[in-house]
Each structure stands twice: as C-alpha cells, then as structure tokens.
Amino acid sequence: MSDSSGIPFNNPGWAGNTGEFQLTEAQVRGDDYVGERPKEGTHPATAATYPYMLADKDPSAPLFEGPYRERWDKIRSRYPDARSALLPTLGLAQELRGYLSPETMEEVARLLDLSPAYVRGVATFYTMYNKRPVGRFLIQVCTNISCNLCGADEVLQAFLNNTGTELGETSEDGLFTVVEAECLAACGFPTCVQINSRYYENVTPKDVPAILERLKTQGE
Ligand code: FES
C-alpha cells in the first residue's frame, strides 16, 4: 500500500479518508448526558468510549436502534476492519445499558462478526468497561503505591463505611458503587479518587462525608 506520491504506508490498517471522519462530538456520543462534558474539539474517537453515566440506563435496550443505530453506523463506517470498531461499540453499548453483561458481549460479537470469546477478552481487559451494573456514581479509589503510602486504604474504607457497601457492591439507593483502582496518574496528589469522569485529589478519610453529600445534592 502506498499514498499518491508512492510512499509506502507503514500502517496498512489506516483507513484513509473513508467513512464518517468528519464527526462532531455530539454526532459520536449524542447530547443526552449528565455530568460534565469535555470541551468540543477533542478527538471524536475518544468521545465514543468516554464513560459517561446516564441518569437512566436501560439494560434491555436494543443494540442499536434509532439515534444509537445512526451513531453506531457512523462509528462502524470509519473502520475497514470490523474488529477495529470493537472498543467504541462496547462503549456505546455500555452508555446505553450501563454495563456489559455476557449477553451484551455476545450481541456485540454478532454485530461485528467476531467470536464471543474475543469480545469477552477485550471487554474484561479494560477497567473502563463495567462488567456489572454500577451506581449513579462510580467511585474508584486509587490504592496503588503512592496513594497507598499516603493512606489510600483508609480512604477506601471511609467510602465503604459512609456508603454502607462492600467493595464493588451498589448502595441500596442505587447511588454509589465503590471500587479499587490502579494508578490514576495523579500520583503527586494522593489519595486520588475518580468519581465518574472527575478526579478528586488529596482526599483524606475526613473529606469523604462531604464529598458524598455533595454528590447527593449537587451531582458530580
Ligand atoms: S498511585 Fe494513586 S494516582 Fe498514582
């Protein structure tokens, strides 16, 4: 493969300017979101997998119909190889259904003509894909080395105590799920906690009740 000047492409997987490349963020991810959106102008490819939490998820929603079908068709058209559309397709399925059940992974496999085992292997590799339903606020406490040295275990315990949950469990009101996370790349500000798409830095156990109260009353 070469370009018009005869220079060979190093990456034969590059699709060139085919398909729907000129997409706005809204065309890729739609408008119906809660939480803060990144500024318009970031690359649409990242938008497709950004883990927004819709207020109302529908685990039995069809994959994909209506506006979601339109968005998926556009995403799919950007990849000559169906397998390459797997990550944004999983992202769209999670956005719609809230998490990726084994059944959802199988449906995605059928959509992209892949084996269920392959889809499952990819989906379970990335922590940004929820394999179980999560609460309205997914609280990810970094317990990796820097945060751990600065008391991340106590912060994690404070979130569990104050939400009345066990690790990975969702609170009865459906609001909170607390999980451990690997390094969130904010090691200079331990303990770092990611709540949905927002970082909270230098968190100590005594900050936890106020953070939860703010989430309840003002959202993310
Ligand atoms: S170790 Fe917690 S952000 Fe890096």
pTM of the shown model: 0.72
Q: Tokens representing 34?
A: 């809660």
Mean predicted lDDT score pLDDT of the chain: 81
| Intervals of CATH 3.40.30.10 along the chain | 137-218
- Residue 117's pLDDT is what? 96
Which tens digits make up the pLDDT trace of 2-43?
445 454 444 444 444 555 556 665 665 555 544 444 444 444
Give dist(CA 152, CA 144) in Å, integer: 8
For residue 187, the number of C-alpha atoms closer than 13 Å in the C-beta half-sphere is: 8
Q: Which two tokens stand for residue 33?
A: 């979101």
Residue 44 alpha carbon to ligand 1 centre in Å: 27
Q: What is the distance between the alpha carbons of residues 143 and 149, in angstroms, rounded to a whole number?
A: 9
- The pLDDT value recorded for residue 30 is 58
In CATH, the architecture of 137-218 is: 3-Layer(aba) Sandwich (3.40)
Confidence at residue 98, expressed as pLDDT on a 0 to 100 scale: 86
Residue 116, pLDDT above cutoff 50: yes
Angle at 168 between CA 163 and CA 202, to 5 degrees: 60
Residue 59, pLDDT score: 86
Taking the C-alpha atoms of residue 82 and residue 175, their distance in angstroms, rounded to an integer, is 36
Ligand 1-lining residues (CB < 6 angstroms)? 142, 144-147, 183-187, 190, 192
Cα(78) to ligand 1 centroid in Å equals 35
Label residue 198 by pLDDT band (50, 70, 90): confident
Q: What confidence score (pLDDT) does residue 53 get?
A: 52
